[in-house]
Chain A
Amino acid sequence: MHYPWWYVPHLTAPMLIAAISVLHVLISHYAVGGGLFLAVEVAHAYKTGNRAYLDYLQRHAKFFVLLTVVLGAVTGVGIWWTIGLSSPLATEVLIRTFVFGWATEYVFFVIELAAAFIFLYYWGRLTEKTHALIGWIYALAAWISLVLITGITAFMVNPGTWADGGSSQDFWTAFFNPQFLPQTIARTGGALLLSSLYVYLHASLTIRDAKLRDMIASRSARPACLGAVLITLGGIGWHFFLPPSAKDALAAAAPLNILVVLIFALTAVVFVLLYVGPYRNPGWLSPGFAASLCLFGIAAFSTGEFIREAVRKPFIIYNTVLSNQIYPEEVQKLRGIGYLEGGVWTKAFVKTHYPQAIVNDRIAGSELLKLPHQDRVALGEVLFQYHCNDCHAAQDGYSSLGRLLHGRSRELVRNSVDHLDSIYFMPPWAGTAEEAELITDYLMTINRPRPEGMRVGTETAEVK
């Protein structure tokens, strides 16, 4: 806990990452797949001399640039912004490990930008060959930037031998982690599939000429189906190379169960719709059909992204950074000296507000317990903020403790704190016994009573 914690009421700060990254993923995959679509199709249209198709592609390119160059780029920077704000320690580790990966990716961004603008603004002014070539330069650069960022996001799920420390902590070990290949395959598939769905939606809304629309429907069905296959293959590889805790989490947590079933169901629906729709019956491509296809695809994608985030718990970077912004190596030390003492900002907080708890420039556990109840609660809340708020809202909101405590007795609540990692999605309790008392005091103030009126057979005393 070297950094201050950012308190976002109800939502929790990390959920902002989820919100922005889902939006970004929905656009950035299109930035890759759509680029490939434009490169392939423009070349095809030139070869077949299909003017009507070229006109459509130009309109599509405009839409493409407006969405990807602006919103894709800004939301990408936005993710970087939010991870720095809500997971600063993990961001620090990622940047110190991968700075040259990002710097290299950045070069590809510049190539993408230049290519995208030239491709669009000089449409019809370059020779056909050069124009198509620039489309391909864009597509290739975009795909390479996908590969580069995937190395980094895959690292967070399973850094492989890098996390063992020592000489294995080099860039290449980190980059070519066990999750790298499966995720690259899945994301490439995602790019192909998602962009086909956007193409369908755009084409069905803007093209009147049925023949042209049918041609687009059937031509884009192939990359879409290929994409679905790659997603499946990559998904299997992803699951195979998950660390055991993540595999277990997928099987154990009820919400994740539902999401996994949902993602399979949604993917299956998309696949079937693609087959019976655009592939076999291109004429079906009405705006309504395209929109539902697109919606199912977006739902599947968002679910996938959410699961990818969720299974990492209690880590931000597996075996490297815990979600409460400490290294696993610090846990034993913090159990000895105290969580408040070990955190830069928590220590400063105690020093300013409760100087009476400081003995020899250290926070003394025994002094903490002597504080009046309301101060114990106040310090318990500090512990909650710095130890729990990355996953739990307080009284109400996302996974709120007020509700998860189920009106349990003080003794049981204290017991949950002591054995926090008995649920292994949670980091171990990293404070002293005295601090466990303080946070329990606080938790009891937000603990909602059991709902009234339940009759479960144990309340015989009251029932006549």
Chain B
Amino acid sequence: MQPNILVEQVAANLPAPIWFVQFFKALGFTLHAIPMNLWYAGLLIALWLHLRGNTHGQRFGARLLQQMPVIVAFGINLGIVPLLFLQLAYNRVFYPATILMAWFWLAIIALVTLAYYGVYAYAWGLRQQGNAMAAWRKAAGWCAAVFFLAVGFLFANGLSLTEHVDRWADLWKQHSVAGAATGTALNIGDPTLIPRWLLMFGLALGTTAVWLLVDATWFARNTVDEDYRRWAWSLAKKLYTVSAIWFAAAGSWYVYGTWHSAIRQTMFDWPWLPLTVATAVAPALPWALLMTAGFCNEKRLTLAAIALCQFGVLGLNATSRQVVQNLNLNPHLQLYTQPTAVQWSPLVMFLVVFVLGLGVVGWMVWQVAKSLPSPTR
């Protein structure tokens, strides 16, 4: 069967220029990736440190675990943006892919709910009883970490299937009743699935390393001593090194082991070559900054640079993903020739509300900052 006959073009107008959709999709995904990384790899690390770490490790573990409910809340929220824009312009491939795996796709909702409450159980246990918290709370935290890994696996399934239309026909044949999908397919046979999933975990280790430093230098600055900071820097270095190696390994597997040769050719040719190279080597920059920074109690500028670089790493990754997604979909989806009628006034309303909203949130955060104890206390 030609895969092409499973995708039909849309009649309704696209309400925003396609570049706008892609920009917000990639930006939204980058922003979502920061908190998502922290529950993806960070949660596991925090649980481990809290269980087995030295005093500093336990302290960081407890801190991150207590921050986790807020991180999860904002992370889920930030995930809405890329999904909204994905559904807007890629609907004709996104819906069929997720319908084929409907039950698993729906399971994400259940898993996220359970994981979320698991995180709360642990965090509030810590707050009220410290290390003496009930065993079920600890178990709930570990379950949450496992559930988040499973959610990542399901997302990798859904998005790799969205991108690989040629895989639909087989899955449909195996998982259908009278031509209707039973929603029980998983994209297991797709060679890109596992390296994709692992790639994100590698990035997540790096983001967690950066968060460890950000927390020690800013959020915890009045409560931790120099010894803790020294420990934090040394752990962050190790963690980031693992992250970079992991990223390189999973990335090479992904690019050389699973990409169609046509995609590889395009990505290693003009105009995409610089993007491909930049994405591949990006983690080297924050890593080098981290390794050469040595240790000093007040490394705020260096740390700001490292954090910015990590944001760049995630951003480049999202951009490359977007390009590869488009390349894979090009034969099936007329992305750039969709009928478009820009809804200008709602678009402006959104941008205005967005800026005002940032202002309101900024004001609230400022009120909180004012109320925090001063360093002399």
Contact = CB atoms under 8 A, between A and B. Distances in A.
B268 to A, nearest CB: 34
Nearest to A144: B353
B282 interface: no
Among A69, A107, A111, max chain B CB count under 10 A is at A107
B182 interface: yes
Interface residues of B, number: 68
B14 interface: yes
A103 B81 CA distance: 7
A122 B371 contact: yes
A352 B343 CA distance: 41
A349 B343 contact: no
Interface string A1-28: 0111111100001001000000000000
A70 B88 contact: no
A109 B180 contact: no
B357 A110 contact: yes
A85 interface: yes
B179 A111 contact: no
Contact of A114 (B99, B116, B183, B365): B365
A14 B369 CA distance: 47
B277 interface: no
B77 interface: yes
Nearest to A5: B180
Contacts of B132: none
Nearest to B355: A107
B202 to A, nearest CB: 27
Contacts of B113: 70-71, 74-75
B87 to A, nearest CB: 5
B230 to A, nearest CB: 29
Contacts of B120: 66, 70
Interface string B77-89: 1001100110110
B13 interface: yes
Contacts of B371: 122, 125-127, 130
Given A6-B181, A104-B350, A91 B95 contact: yes
B361 A111 contact: yes
Contacts of B100: 4
Contacts of B108: 81
A351 B5 contact: yes
A129 B95 CA distance: 48
Interface string A383-398: 0111001000000000
A97 interface: yes
B364 A113 contact: no
A7 B180 contact: yes
A99 B361 contact: no
Interface in A316-349: 327, 344-349
B15 A348 contact: no
Contacts of B181: 4-7
* Max chain A C-beta neighbours (<10 A), residue from B10, B70, B172, B346: B346
Contacts of B98: 84-85
Interface of A: 2-8, 13, 16, 66, 69-71, 73-75, 77-78, 81-82, 84-85, 88, 91-93, 95-97, 99-104, 106-111, 113-115, 117-118, 122, 125-127, 130, 134, 137, 170-172, 327, 344-349, 351-352, 378, 381-382, 384-386, 389
